[in-house]
Amino acid sequence: MLMDLKERNKKDKSQVWKNTKFVVSFNHALDGIKTIFKEERNMRNHTMIGIIPVLLGWYFKISALEWIAVVTCIFLVMLMEFINTIFETVVDMVTDYEFHPLAKKAKDIAAGAVLIAAIFTIIVAAVIFMPKFIALYF
């Protein structure tokens, strides 16, 4: 059953207006970051895996341009995980956790975006680090 988003509980006094103070907006953003790290296992996994190319970058003393590529890719995967979580949360809210083929489609596409970003990141890491490993061992 779809939830009518216009129907709000009259006793619900949660904030529905725009934040007018930077500090309040900043605190809400921090709450979102804390929530995704607390509730989303994949975000924690991506973060831990993202440490590997950082350590390799320090070990191999990669160039500034290579650092930009590595850090951009790490943040791309994390950003896609944020977007995926947003999609999943909104779909769950609208469908009230009931299965719907379009809900599945939206969630699958969002998860696919994370996968594409992760594959791209692996390719970039291979381009940067494989020659360094080859030079080190051969």
Residues serving a catalytic function are 81
Q: According to the annotation, is 100 in a ligand binding site?
A: yes
Q: Which two tokens stand for residue 133?
A: 């490993």
In terms of phi and psi (left: phi > 0; alpha: psi -120 to 50; beta: otherwise), the region of 13 is alpha
Q: According to the annotation, is 38 in a ligand binding site?
A: no
Q: According to the annotation, is 40 in a ligand binding site?
A: yes
Amino acid identity of residue 17, one-letter, is: W
Q: According to the annotation, is 39 in a ligand binding site?
A: no
Q: According to the annotation, is 98 in a ligand binding site?
A: yes
Q: Inter-axis angle of helices 41-60 and 22-39, to 10 degrees?
A: 90
Residue pointed to by tokens 């494989």: 130
Q: According to the annotation, is 7 in a ligand binding site?
A: no
Distance (Å, whole) CA 93 – CA 4: 10
Q: CB of 83 within 8 A of CB of 113?
A: yes
Q: Residues at the annotated binding site for ATP? A: 40, 88, 98-100, 107-108
Q: Residues at the annotated binding site? A: 40, 81, 88, 98-100, 107-108
Q: Residues at the annotated binding site for substrate? A: 81
Q: Residues at the annotated binding site for a divalent metal cation? A: 40, 88
